[in-house]
A = this chain, B = another copy of it.
Amino acid sequence: MIHHSEKSILVVGSLAFDDLEMPTGTFKDVIGGAATYSAIASSLLAPVRLVGVVGADFPQAMLDDLGKRGVDTKGVERQAGKTFRWHGRYSSDLASRETLDTQLNVFADFRPKIPKEFAASPLVMLGNIHPALQLEVLKQVERPQLVVADTMNFWIQGEPKTLAELLPKVDVLVINDEEVRELAGVHNLRRAAEEVRRRGPKALIVKRGEHGALLFDAQGVFFVPAYPLEEVCDPTGAGDSFAGGLLGYLASHDHTEPHALRRAMFFASAMGSFCVEGIGPRRLLSITKRDLRSRLDQFLAMVEYGGDLPFRE
């Protein structure tokens, strides 16, 4: 894939196998992991540098495919042992899921090592890993222009101090509404968002699944809808694809432009919508820029109201 942009995105996080029990059947050994989804989504728009760890069982063909998409996988260590594995079961309406088993395997001792050639990456995506490791990544990179991070309740509850150290170094925090409320200790979403931003991130993006996403930053609040699909196949990786789409836009356009983050939210939501259309990253791997343009146009149609709200007082 040839990209107009020279701005690369460093993506650090998990590569995995997922065993998925879906209402439509059971799917085993599905390629997964947050970094995988983010890298695939970003790579449609900009060059990606991937850092993570896999075991001996992870298919080289998948890494080769990523390479063809413009993902530099030299930062993906291959270790003896098994790849991180997640086993989950979704509810019949796909609205919730339970973890049946997690095997960290080679991911248990993961310490991200950023190759020298990656150290000057202008954009950095810190996938959802231990905040101490996210901090280690930032120590190994040279003043990135933009740092985007994800985290989860497990770290919010278990590593509050490390997370507090990380947050001022993050430009855009991308988490779900439950995590925002937990992190802030406040139920009201608007006040929770203010509290989270007070702790460091200049921008907070709240992912709400089928209900879309909210951006809180110095400009106020911005809202992007989710795309109402006729068929939702597998929500696994949708949030990571969302983050990948966000970074892909920011890397390939002027990310300092006033509406950059707002516009990036559409690309993010579009990538999330593609992700859920197939089992694992299958659909995401197949989409073209033309598919993306078409989905973006559908998004724009969804928010088109004629440009003003006439109102005779």
Contacts and interface: CB of A to CB of B under 8 A. Distances in A.
Interface of A: 4, 93, 187-191, 193, 208, 210-212, 214, 219-223, 225, 228-232, 252-253, 258-259, 262-263, 265-267, 289-290, 292-293, 296, 298-313
Given A190-B229, A228-B189, A222 B266 contact: no
A292 B306 contact: no
Contacts of A259: 304-306
Given A93-B187, A263-B306, A211 B214 contact: no
A302 B190 contact: no
Nearest to A254: B310
B223 A302 contact: yes
Contacts of A308: 300
A232 to B, nearest CB: 7
Contacts of A252: 312
B228 A190 contact: yes
A1 to B, nearest CB: 12
Contact of A296 (B187, B220, B262, B309): B309
B303 A223 contact: yes
Given A188-B230, A189-B228, A293-B311, A305 B211 contact: no
A307 B290 CA distance: 20
B262 A305 contact: yes
A262 B189 contact: no
A188 B231 CA distance: 7
Given A188-B230, A302-B220, A311 B296 contact: yes
A190 B301 CA distance: 15
Nearest to A288: B313
A290 B298 CA distance: 34
Contacts of A262: 304-306
Q: Which of A220, A258, A312 is packed against the most chain B CB atoms within 10 Å?
A: A312
A70 to B, nearest CB: 15
Contacts of A210: 189
B4 A312 contact: yes
Contact of A222 (B93, B265, B302, B311): B302
A48 to B, nearest CB: 17
Contacts of A311: 267, 289, 292-293, 296
Contacts of A310: 253, 263
B304 A222 contact: yes
23 contacts: A4-B312, A93-B187, A189-B210, A193-B228, A208-B211, A212-B212, A212-B225, A214-B228, A219-B301, A220-B301, A221-B228, A252-B312, A258-B306, A262-B306, A263-B306, A263-B309, A292-B311, A293-B311, A293-B313, A296-B311, A299-B309, A303-B303, A307-B307
A309 B245 CA distance: 13
